């Protein structure tokens, strides 16, 4: 029996506005003293009325446009009514009937580099609720209204036949995109980006389906993946045993690595929605809309796809370059000088990035030029320069050494020592040698690696390979 | 001193000082308010600002509008100790115009009611007959003006809450076009219909007080920027204007004396050159059903914040849900609970199509038709109330109470300006004439009202309603 999961995501994005959605309170920095940025509006005092912050409309529209949504030039606000201590007014101002954006899609890459698309049902504006602080002593709960009224955009996907791993990629790349658009800090540890996941599982023929489970507050990429994996296994077991449970809202226990029941969804969403009478529509003039549209930059997935195509790169290499803009222009210059970019990327992603990290430096602070790196790669490839010398030179360069590549004397070891290293390695690994002669010729690379290690990088790969082939051939 | 104008000229001629008027009102409040129950809270006896020489206008404010230095209880035990953290825009504008606050007036709890008996504290009595109700929900406001406790009062009107008590108390109640007067600092009952307005002793005062209040407010997104001079046309002749009334309004019982006074009023208008036409408008029967679906629905949401966590008192023990239900069922009155339940019912997913959505559609249709009528007529004319003020404790059923809004609620559905002015007396009890005009036609509405007031005479301009008490020490 095969099973097919259907996954839908609801992602809440705190917008990076200066002030809250419906009052003039500044959005407090994460970790600010509780209730230090509040007023009568965001604490729901009687008689206080909401006034819409126009900046919210602009950032939210940017998101909706980036997600390819149809934009409603007159979206409206509604009230979602329910009682909860984190909800000061007893209702949340949201967009239910006429959301800002609808029918969009988000393109992203699977970890394998496959380009995928996930349909977006709607993008709407709403306000955040207060933060509840569970005080350890006496079981009291504190209410921090700094968060209430912070503008949110909720992105709701269509349910799709996707894997947990793909859901993770979607969420990750959505965050990259939102950060790139500078509409949110995207700080998940502060709740600036939050994800709820819906999942159900159907038998392969689609005849039997489980109930839909909603897992709340999956505030890390790996939690999202793990929670979905856990739920899918759980729901498959339900389908197999025939003991289906009703729809539930569940939470994720990160330490136990399992979901747990929060509540049964008996009354599915009794929120008594109705149009918010205190606010008019969010008007977006054709002028505003076309301005926002033409200001939209090339999106990350478009840029990555362009690198992959134009440079013939793998997805991880293209992603690396996208994530590191300083490397990107450097790489593009190197590409002018060298046909095959693979070695350049190996140096950039390996030694150079590692050294920068160790020395706590920015790439722009190093005097390394694209021409130097290309020369260096060429010399190593042709056996004129041992890898270890090249590495030393790069390290020195990143430290700030001005020593030109030309002064680097090719300290080539004589053939005698290389012969000696080969002999020693073969003597030290008699079992592998036996297997090699028995036909496991792949072990050639193992011996090669051992020799290079023994030589501390001084041996020249091409020469060693030749000696190895000669020696092994001779002993056959 | 019974109007802003007469008071102002008396001040100029130094026949009276601001302090003398203030003390006059203070004394009357002390002597007579125990009989009437207008005030939930009164000001300090001798505020220092009275030593100034500016024109100072003592006024009262309904207790659902925030005034600095006073509580805002909304006539509810739930908010008996609530002090507002900001001042209403209208209160700020009143201060700027030179007003001082005599006190906060009693009202039907959260403005739900038409009699004044739904106050969570005590009922207000009608100054013309202490055995009778003053009308609601701005009960204390209307009574305080009629009783001579202040020059004017500020209240709110969501379905007739200024105009019905104006009719029962013999004063002028004016609800401006929705969006003209800021609601910031008015505790919302029904956000799409609530409007702040005035209770005054004459039409001139209504126009002048409202001219202080109107104008766009950065704290209320529903206010509009609309230049308007309310006073300019007040004395202009009305001949050539056209008024209409609906025959169906009289299909339900209307007190015969009121019908008689109303007929006389129509003749008075005709005598001034106004055309009066009777129209048939059967849809008018839908006003109350629509109003009593939409008002409770919005109210149920607006009052959700009163959960006993942030506002109100904690009642009993138990978890959050227990706390919410015990606080609300203990501290909210019967009518408030009734409307919350009604409103919640009308919005629930299985009922919303049949109730809220349908009512919203009928509202839009009604308003569209009435605006069509306003293309041909300058205003609608009717009695304000179908009856004279009932006796206190006459225990009207909810449906009978709701009938009291028969002539007034239409203005709130459409956001139209409307006014109730004294029409006449019967057996010592006043009743009002109701006028309603198209949106932003406030100046024309006031012009029509003023013309009738002139013709009809200021019914009790020179005296207070309880002369038998005046001699008391």
Query: Of A407, A437, A458, which residue constitutes the final position of a domain?
Result: A407
| Same domain assignment for residues A37 and A7 | yes
Q: Bigger pLDDT: B331 or A355?
A: B331
Indicate if B420 belongs to the active site. no
Both tokens of A318, joined, read 């293209």
**Stated pTM of the model:** 0.89
Domains defined along chain B, listed by start:
4-236+419-470 (3.90.1300.10)
Is A47 a member of any domain? yes
| Same domain assignment for residues A424 and A402 | no
How confident is the model at residue B145, as a pLDDT?
A: 95
Alpha carbons A313 and B122: distance in angstroms, whole number: 81
How confident is the model at residue A441, as a pLDDT?
A: 82
| Same domain assignment for residues A92 and A240 | yes
pLDDT digit string (tens) for A273-283?
Answer: 999 999 999 99
- In total, how many domains does chain A have? 3
Q: Bigger pLDDT: A138 or B164?
A: B164
Is A209 a member of any domain? yes
Instruction: Say which residue the tokens 């138990």 belong to.
Output: B318
Q: Bigger pLDDT: A470 or B156?
A: B156
Is A419 a member of any domain? yes
Containing domain of residue A74, as a range? 3-294
Distant-in-sequence contacts of A407-416, Cβ < 8 A, 24+ apart? A410/A379, A410/A384, A410/A385, A410/A386, A411/A386, A411/A458, A412/A384, A412/A386, A412/A460, A413/A386, A413/A455, A413/A458, A413/A459, A413/A460, A415/A463, A415/A467
How confident is the model at residue B471, as a pLDDT?
A: 46
Alpha carbons A167 and A178: distance in angstroms, whole number: 16
| Same domain assignment for residues A341 and A357 | yes
pLDDT band (50, 70, 90) for residue A398? confident
Mutation target for B interface from A19, A39, A40, A49: give the one with most B CBs within 10 A: A49
Give strand ranges (E) for B357-428: 379-383, 418-426
Kindly state whether B48 is in contact with chain A, defined as any CB-CB distance less than 8 angstroms. no
Residue positions counted in chain B:
473
Please report the residues numbered 219 through 258 in chain B whose beta carbons come closer than 8 angstroms to any beta carbon of chain A.
219-222
| Same domain assignment for residues A89 and A234 | yes
| Same domain assignment for residues A391 and A435 | no
How confident is the model at residue B473, as a pLDDT?
A: 35
Kindly state whether B340 is in contact with chain A, defined as any CB-CB distance less than 8 angstroms. no
Query: Of A391, A407, A423, which residue constitutes the final position of a domain?
Result: A407
| Same domain assignment for residues A156 and A29 | yes
| Same domain assignment for residues A235 and A338 | no
- Is the predicted pLDDT of residue A338 greater than 80, yes or no? yes
Q: Of the candidates B86, B88, B304, which has its C-beta nearest A83's C-beta? A: B304
Indicate if B444 belongs to the active site. no
Indicate if B14 belongs to the active site. no
| CA distance, residue A22 to nearest chain B CA (Å) | 10
Extract the residue ranges of chain B whose pLDDT is less than 70.
1, 45-55, 458-473
| CA distance, residue B210 to nearest chain A CA (Å) | 20
| CA distance, residue A279 to nearest chain B CA (Å) | 6
Cβ pair A91:B304 closer than 8 A: yes
Kindly state whether B409 is in contact with chain A, defined as any CB-CB distance less than 8 angstroms. no
Average pLDDT, chain A: 90
Is A316 a member of any domain? no
Which strands sit side by side in the sheet containing A151-157, from one edge to the other?
A: A70-71, A101-109, A115-127, A151-157, A3-14, A193-203, A213-215, A248-253, A258-264
Alpha carbons B59 and B150: distance in angstroms, whole number: 5
Burial class of residue A474 (count of CB atoms within 10 Å of its CB; 0-12, 13-18, 19+): exposed
- Residues 6 or more apart whose CB falls under 8 angstroms from that of B267 comprise none
pLDDT digit string (tens) for B73-84?
Answer: 999 999 999 999
Structure ipTM over 0.90, yes or no = yes
Is A246 a member of any domain? yes
How confident is the model at residue B176, as a pLDDT?
A: 98
| Same domain assignment for residues A283 and A369 | no
Cis ω on the peptide bond leading into residue B54 (within 30° of 0)?
no
| Same domain assignment for residues A371 and A403 | yes
């Amino acid at each position: 029996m095969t099973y097919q999961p259907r996954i839908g995501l609801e992602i809440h994005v705190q917008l990076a506005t200066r002030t809250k959605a419906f009052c003039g309170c500044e959005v407090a920095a994460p970790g600010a003293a509780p209730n230090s940025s509040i007023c009568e509006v965001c604490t729901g005092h009687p008689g206080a009325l909401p006034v819409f912050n126009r900046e919210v409309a602009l950032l939210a529209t940017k998101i909706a446009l980036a997600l390819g949504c149809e934009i409603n030039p007159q979206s409206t606000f509604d009230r979602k009514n329910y009682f909860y201590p984190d909800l000061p007014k007893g209702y949340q101002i949201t967009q239910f009937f006429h959301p800002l954006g609808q029918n969009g899609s988000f393109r992203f890459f699977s970890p394998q580099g496959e380009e995928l698309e996930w349909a977006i049902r709607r993008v709407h504006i709403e306000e955040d609720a207060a933060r509840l602080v569970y005080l350890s002593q006496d079981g009291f709960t504190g209410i921090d209204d700094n968060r209430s009224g912070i503008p949110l955009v909720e992105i709701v996907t269509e349910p799709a036949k996707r894997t947990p791993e793909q859901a993770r990629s979607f969420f990750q790349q959505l965050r990259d995109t939102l950060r790139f658009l500078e509409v949110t800090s995207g700080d998940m540890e502060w709740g600036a980006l939050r994800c709820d996941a819906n999942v159900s599982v159907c038998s392969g023929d689609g005849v039997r389906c489980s109930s839909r489970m909603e897992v709340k507050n999956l505030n890390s990429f790996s939690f999202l993946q793990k929670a979905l994996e856990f739920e899918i296994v759980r729901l498959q077991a339900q389908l197999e045993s025939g003991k289906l449970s009703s729809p539930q809202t569940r939470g994720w226990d990160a330490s136990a690595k399992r979901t747990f029941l929060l509540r049964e969804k008996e009354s599915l969403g009794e929120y008594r929605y109705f149009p918010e009478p205190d606010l008019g529509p969010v008007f977006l003039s054709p002028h505003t809309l076309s301005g926002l549209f033409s200001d939209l930059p090339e999106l990350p997935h478009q840029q990555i796809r362009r690198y992959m195509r134009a440079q013939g790169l793998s997805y991880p290499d293209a992603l690396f370059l996208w994530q590191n803009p300083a490397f990107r222009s450097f790489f593009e210059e190197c590409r002018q000088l060298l046909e095959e970019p693979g070695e350049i990327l190996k140096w950039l992603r390996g030694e150079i990035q590692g050294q920068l990290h160790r020395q706590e430096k920015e790439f722009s602070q190093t005097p390394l030029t694209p021409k130097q790196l290309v020369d260096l790669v060429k010399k190593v490839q042709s056996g004129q320069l041992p890898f270890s010398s090249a590495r030393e030179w790069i390290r020195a360069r990143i430290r700030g050494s001005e020593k030109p590549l030309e002064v680097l004397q090719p300290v080539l070891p004589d053939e005698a020592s290389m012969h000696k290293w080969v002999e020693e390695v073969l003597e030290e690994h008699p079992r592998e040698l036996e297997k090699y002669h028995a036909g496991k010729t792949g072990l050639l690379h193992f011996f090669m690696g051992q020799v290079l290690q023994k030589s501390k990088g001084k041996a020249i790969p091409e020469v060693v390979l030749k000696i190895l082939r000669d020696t092994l051939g001779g002993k056959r | 001193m019974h109007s802003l104008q007469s008071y102002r000229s008396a001040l100029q001629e130094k026949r009276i000082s601001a302090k003398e008027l203030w003390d006059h009102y203070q004394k009357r409040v002390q002597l007579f308010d125990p009989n009437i129950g207008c005030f939930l809270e009164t000001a300090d006896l001798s505020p220092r600002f009275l030593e100034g020489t500016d024109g100072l206008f003592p006024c009262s404010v309904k207790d659902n509008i925030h005034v600095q230095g006073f509580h805002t209880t909304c006539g509810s035990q739930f908010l008996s100790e609530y002090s507002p953290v900001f001042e209403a825009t209208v209160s700020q504008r009143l201060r700027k115009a030179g007003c001082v606050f005599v006190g906060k007036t009693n009202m039907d709890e959260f403005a739900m009611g038409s009699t004044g008996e739904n106050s969570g504290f005590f009922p207000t009595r009608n100054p013309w007959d202490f055995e009778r109700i003053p009308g609601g929900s701005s009960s204390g406001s209307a009574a305080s003006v009629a009783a001579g406790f202040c020059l004017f009062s500020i209240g709110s009107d969501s379905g007739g809450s200024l105009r019905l008590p104006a009719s029962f108390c013999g004063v002028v109640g004016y609800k401006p076009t929705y969006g003209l007067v800021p609601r910031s600092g008015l505790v919302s009952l029904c956000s799409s219909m609530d409007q702040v307005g005035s209770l005054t002793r004459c039409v001139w005062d209504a126009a002048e007080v409202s001219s202080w209040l109107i104008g766009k407010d950065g704290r209320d997104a529903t206010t509009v920027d609309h230049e308007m001079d309310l006073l300019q046309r007040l004395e202009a002749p009305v001949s050539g204007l056209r008024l209409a009334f609906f025959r169906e309004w009289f299909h339900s019982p209307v007190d015969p004396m009121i019908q008689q006074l109303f007929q006389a009023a129509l003749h008075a208008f005709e005598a001034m050159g106004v055309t009066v036409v009777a129209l048939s408008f059967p849809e008018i029967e839908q006003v109350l059903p629509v109003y009593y679906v939409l008002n409770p629905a919005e109210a149920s949401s607006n009052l959700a914040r009163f959960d006993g966590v942030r506002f109100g008192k904690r009642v009993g023990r138990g978890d959050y849900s227990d706390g919410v239900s015990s606080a609300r069922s203990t501290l909210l009155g019967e009518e408030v609970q009734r409307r919350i339940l009604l409103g919640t019912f009308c919005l629930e997913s299985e009922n919303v199509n049949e109730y809220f959505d349908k009512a919203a559609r009928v509202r839009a249709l009604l308003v569209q038709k009435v605006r069509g009528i306003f293309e041909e007529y300058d205003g609608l004319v009717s009695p304000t109330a179908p009856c004279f003020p009932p006796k206190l404790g006459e225990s009207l059923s909810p449906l009978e109470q709701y009938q009291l809004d028969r002539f007034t609620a239409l203005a709130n559905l459409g956001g139209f300006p409307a006014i109730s002015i004294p029409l006449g007396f019967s057996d010592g009890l006043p009743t009002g004439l109701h006028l309603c005009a198209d949106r932003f036609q406030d100046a024309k509405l006031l012009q029509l009202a003023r013309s009738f007031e002139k013709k009809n005479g200021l019914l009790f301009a020179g005296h207070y309603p309880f002369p038998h008490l005046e001699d008391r020490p």
